[in-house]
Structure 1
Amino acid sequence: MSEIKERYFKAQQEEKKKQLENHSKTIKDFISLCSEIGLKLTNENFSYIQTIGIVAKYPNLLFHLKPELEKVDEELIECKSLEKHFEKKIFNSGMLYSDKFIAMAHPYFRRSLSEFANFAPRFIDLFWKFKDDKVKTYIALDANRVRVNVDDSAYLELDTWYGASFKEQIEKIPNGVVKIRPPAQLDETDISFFFNDAYSFDIKWTEKNEIKTFQAEEFKTEKVTINIRGTEYYPVRYLHAEYDIKNKHFRHFDGAIHFYEKTEYFQRRDSDLNFNEKIGTHLKAKTYKLFKMNENVSVETWITYTSHFCTGNPLVFEYFEGKYPDHIQEILNKIGKKASG
C-alpha cells in the first residue's frame, strides 16, 4: 500500500510540474497583468490543482483585479452585479469567466470546505442556474484566488444526492426546537459513510409580527475540523430564513458557516438552539456568510437549497420527509438485522 501511495504522489507531482510548464506563458502574462495594477506576483504564487486548474493566490487578489466589485453584506456580492463583469458557463458551475482570469465561488462551498476539492454537488450547480426575477441573490466569492487558464476545462464529479420535499404549511409548523441524531446503533464508521459525519441537525422555529423564523445548525462529528490561521475550529453549517405568513413566501433566506472553538463545540453540540437562553454568558461563534436570497423566495426553493447546502446528510432529509432516503433505510435495516441476529 505504501508503494502505491508513493507512486500516486509522485505522479501527482509530475502532473503538477507538467501543467505549470505547459501554462508558463499564461502565468507570465498574468504576472504582467498584476504588475500593471501594482501587484508583485512570482511563480511561487501559482499552483496546479487537479480539481480547478492553474491557480494564482494572493491576498484579496480578486478585488485587486476587479475593484469595482461591491460587497453588500459582509462578504456577499449581489449576483446580478456579477453579470456586468463575468460570464457564466452552464457546464462549469462555480466559475465566473472574464478575458484574463476566472473568478470562483468561495472555497467553503467545496467538499469538506477544502480549497483543493471540487465544489460539493449540487448546491453550487443549482445556485449558478437559479433564475427568478422575484428573488435577489447574493454569494461569497474566493477573494484570494483566481484561475488563470481561461479555457473550457472542467473537473466533473457525479453526485446522487437529491433534495427533499415538504408538504406542511409553514404557518402551521409548531414553534420550538427539534434535534435530530443518527440512529444509536450506528458506529463511527457507519456515521462517516452513510451520514456524511453528521452528529446532529438542530432546528428552531419562532414567530413574531406575522413573520415565522427558521434557524438550523448542522453539526458534524468531532473529527471534522478546519484550521484557520493556526487555530482549529469545528465548522457548523447554519441556515436562517424568515417566512411572511400573510404573503406565504420567505422574505429572506441565507446560509453561513459557524466556526466553534473546541470548548464551544462540545458545549453546544449536545444542547439545542435555545442554548444561549439557558446559560448566563452567550456563546457566539465566528460566522462566515456564504449566500443570501431576498424578497420572494418560494417554499420549494427554501427546501431545495437547505437540502443541498447540507448535502449528503440524511438527517435533513428525515426532517423534511419524516423518513430517511430509501437507500439509507435499506442499509439501516441490514445493520439492524445483523445486530439482532
Structure 2
Amino acid sequence: MPLTLYKRGKIYHYRGTVAGRRLRGSTGTAKKAAAERFISELEDKQWKGHFDGPGSVLTFAQAAILYRNAQKSTRFLESVENYWRDTLVADIKAGHVQKAAITLYPRASAATRNRHVIVPTQAVINHAAELELCSHLKVKRFVVVSKKKTPVTWQWVQTFMANANPHLGALCCFMFLTGARVGEAVDVRWEDVDLAKATVLIRETKVGSERLAHMPPALVVAIANIEGERLPEEKVFKYSSRDTAKPQWNKVLRRGEMKKLKPLTFHSCRHGFATTLLHKGVDPITVSKLGGWKSPQHVFQTYGHAKEDVRIVNILTDTQEEHDKSAEGDYNAKTAG
C-alpha cells in the first residue's frame, strides 16, 4: 500500500508501505500540498535506498543519530553535525573533511583541526560503516609539529597542594597519581571512590571505557582530607568542569613558592604520570594500561623523554655489586644531609 495522508488535528500524517517497509509518521505541516510533496520525496528516497543500497540515502545527520544512540563519545560532535547536516555520507570524501576543518577552524593548529573535525566526522561515518550502511572513510590528518612538554614532578605537585585549597590540591594530586585527564577527574563521584581499598573508578571519556585505578597512600590522604558531606552522586572535587577549575588553578600558580616554579597545566599532571613511571623503569605497556592509553607506542613516543644526566651511561659497565654500593652511598649521603 503506497503512502496515504490523514489528518491528526491540523497536521497531516502518513502511513503505508514502500519498498517492503512499513512507514508511519508526521509530515510536520498543515498544508496538504506541502504534505503531498513530503511523502512523494520520502517514497523516492525509500526506493532509491532499496535499489542502490542504504548508503545512497544515508545523511550525516542520520548517521550522527545512530552514533549518539550507540552511546559513543559526543565530544566535539555538535559542531560537525551543524556543518554537515543533511549532506549524504556517500558525498563526503577525505578532501571534503579536511576542507571542513580549515573552514571551521581557520586559525587553529593542526592538532585542533584533527581533534575537533576529522576525528568526530570519521568516527560517525565509520560507525555507520560498521552497521553496513555505508563505506568506511579514511582521512589523512594534518601534520602536527610535536612540542616538548614539561611534565610535573611529585615535588611540583606537593608545592601546588601547599598553596591550594583541599579540593584543588587533591585534584592536582589525583591527576598526577592516577594519570586521569582533567575531564575524567572532575567527573569522579564519591560512589566511585573506595578509600579502604584505595581504588577509584575512572570513566575514560576519550576512549569510551572505564578503568579501576589504584590510589597511592598520598592520594588517599588528600581525598580523605576533603571536608563536607559525601553523598554518593556528588562530585569529589566539587568543580563542574575544567572551565570552572581553571581560574582557581591559575590563581594558585601566582601564589607563594609556586611563583618560582614553571606554570604548568592540567595535562602536565597526566604527562608527569607517564614520564615519571617510564623514568622509573616501568614498561610502556604497563604505563598505557595504568593511564588509560590505547597504544603503548603512543606512550613511548609522547612521554618517553630522554634523561638529562649523561652520566647514566655508567650503568653499562656496572656490576650488580657496584650498583648496590652506589645506591647505598646515595642513601647514606641523603640521610647524613
When the two structures are superposed, what TM-score results if normalisation uses the length of structure 2? Answer: 0.23
Of structures 1 and 2, the larger Rg is shown by: 2
User: Greater share of strand residues, 1 or 2?
Assistant: 1
